Amino acid sequence: MASVVQTVLGPVDAGKLGRTLTHEHLSLNFDEFYIPPPPTLKPFIEKSLCLENIGLVKQYPYGSRENLAFYGNEVDAAVLFDIELFKSAGGGTIVENTSHGIQRKIKLMETVSRQTGVNILAGCGYYVENLQPESVRCMREEELYNSIITEMTVGCIDYPSVKCGFIGEVGSVWPITDFEKRAIRATAQAQNTLGCAVTFHPGRHNKAPFEIMRLYLEAGGKANRAIMSHLDRTFDEKQHFLDFAELGCFCQLDLFGTECSWYQLNPTQDMPSDAQRVEIFSWLKAEGKITQLLGSHDIHTRHRLVKYGGHGYSHLFTNVVPKMLLKGFSQQDVDTISIENPKAWLIGHRV
């Protein structure tokens, strides 16, 4: 099997990926996810991000339109600074999950990778239906498949000199819409054709990851090449994690650094702390599932960047790994989760 991965600067030997974050964004348009904050807090949260309101924005990140504007020259500069910090903390690779529907920025990925020396992989495929133009929503399954194949093997539709390195994030809501089902099946067929890696974004319901995998597997996709993202905001019981891990895909906790008492996108769901995320890893490790575990931050708003008072892309390695080492994880365990598992997902086997 292949032992190279496709980055925005070209093929890279999988052995040189190093510590990898498998679910991040460098630029995207999340404007449609605005949710008004509580009326009493609105005057503070509507201000430009500053020391006075950053604590409130952390609790209600989708209540600030400026915070959701994760694009533009100022954000690009903040992202570049943050990726440099990631590199200095021992980071090697960023898997950039911005797909069609939320406006990926391939040129920025290329620039950041060239200036920092960090490997960056671009994703393809389709995000949730309501963010797609009508011209995409009406596409047949075969057309979705052909688009994915083109971006993986020839070049990005919007930036032909760069090929994508994986399919994702492929997004769906709950219940999964007809378009999203077509996109999932097209993803599975492309995965089967190319033998590539895939990442899914599930709807905010504990049945969603299971249904995505059912559709994906029935359409010919391979479980060991798929990541299910956002499980830390989707499952709220230990048994959900254990049952889902039995399907054989990668189980990703990718909201490390997000610790808030009110999850705006699904207020009925309790957002776990980083300590609880480490505990979830411990459960799954005890069940022999450590080779399926992945961690990341899913940074997609300004307030999580260091320049805006956030934890940045280096948080997992700087702040979480030391906690893991105190909680019964060995350095080999950490390397499995942050180096070996991402590599196995991307190339399909362990080297």
**pLDDT tens readout for residues 216-261:** 999 999 999 999 999 999 999 999 999 999 999 999 999 999 999 8
Q: Annotated binding site for a divalent metal cation: which residue ranges?
A: 23, 25, 169, 201, 230, 298
Residue 210 has pLDDT above 60, yes or no: yes
Does residue 45 sit within a domain?
no
Does residue 280 sit within a domain?
yes
Q: Annotated binding site: which residue ranges?
A: 23, 25, 169, 201, 230, 298
Does residue 38 sit within a domain?
no
Share of the chain above pLDDT 70, in %: 99
Does residue 41 sit within a domain?
no
Taking the alpha carbons at both ends of the chain, their separation in whole angstroms is 10
Average pLDDT over residues 308-334: 99
Peptide bond into 11 cis (omega under 30): no
Average pLDDT over residues 151-167: 98
**Residues 16-33: pLDDT tens digits?**
999 999 999 999 999 999
Asked if 260 and 55 count as a contact pair (C-beta separation under 8 A), the reply is no
Q: Compute the half-sphere exposure of residue 267: CA atoms within 13 Å on the CB side of its CA.
A: 6
CATH of the domain at 87: 3.20.20.140
CA distances from 332 to 87, 244, 270, 282, 347 (A): 20, 24, 31, 14, 20
Of 288, 278, 289, nearest to 320 by C-alpha is 278
Going across the sheet that includes 19-24, the strands are 19-24, 91-96, 119-124, 166-171, 198-201, 226-228, 250-253, 293-295
pLDDT value of position 261: 86
The reported pTM is 0.98
Does residue 321 sit within a domain?
yes
Does residue 1 sit within a domain?
no
Q: Compute the half-sphere exposure of residue 283: CA atoms within 13 Å on the CB side of its CA.
A: 16
Residue 89 has pLDDT above 90, yes or no: yes
Q: Provide the domain limits for residue 82.
A: 12-30+69-347
CA distances from 6 to 16, 154, 164, 255, 284 (A): 12, 12, 7, 25, 30
Domain count, the chain: 1
Does residue 44 sit within a domain?
no
Does residue 50 sit within a domain?
no
Share of the chain above pLDDT 90, in %: 98
Which pair of tokens denotes residue 259?
A: 């610790």
